[in-house]
Structure 1
């Protein structure tokens, strides 16, 4: 079997692994945030700002935002190809929804890093 790693085409195994990997990263981040919320006795703006001033938390948040975008992109592609039969509508919906996912990451960058 010949594998061409230089191609941009995806296959089902890559989508499966990507979805599971991004889901694990998103879940781990969610557990971290929920744990922080439960273990912080008094949640104030200063505590929240202190948490997100840590470089590791910023990096983890950025990685999670990118994982949400990847997860959304693959999931949207799967759902749209299964349920929207009109090619034009599927393309427009895919473009708009993926643009929204990219905007979500861009806004997250501005909020997180104050760029």
Structure 2
């Protein structure tokens, strides 16, 4: 590759995602989590008794046959996992110099987050 090919918009770029997509994803997941948290807080404020059945009703809310409560809870939890993945992955990339250890930590983090999402889905959809 000649020197002129490395300059300008078409230069060779290697490495991670270079920020924009991760920046947007982190903000979008934060908005989803904030909206869902607001819904939880409003539900807790306006429901007279917060017992198991009232929380179950919140998560089992349906529109027709569509389980909206479960879908929104799952979306919020997937947003949390994705938000955490971006942040923790960036920490590993910034502060762990050894490539093998960094890869191990990233895989471990990803496996833990996927397991958490699967466990959450199993609990949520068993309601």
Query: Which residue of structure 2 lines up, in the alignment, with residue 108 of structure 1?
Result: 120
RMSD: 1.8
CA offsets 1:68-87 (integer angstroms, 9 cap, x no match): 12111111111111111121
- In the TM superposition, residue 10 of structure 1 has moved relative to its aligned partner by 3.0
Structure 1 runs not aligned, ≥5 long: 3-8
Separation in 2, partners of 1:20, 1:27 = 10
CA–CA separation in structure 2 for the residues paired with 1:111 and 1:44: 17
Moved more, 18-27 or 40-49: 40-49
The number of equivalent residue pairs is 109
4+ residue runs of structure 1 moved beyond 2 angstroms?
none
> Which of structures 1 and 2 has the larger relative contact order (alpha carbons within 8 angstroms, sep 6+)?
1
Higher helix share: 1
* Structure 2: 5+ residue stretches without partners: 1-8, 11-15, 62-66
TM-score of the aligned structures, taking structure 2 as reference length? 0.78
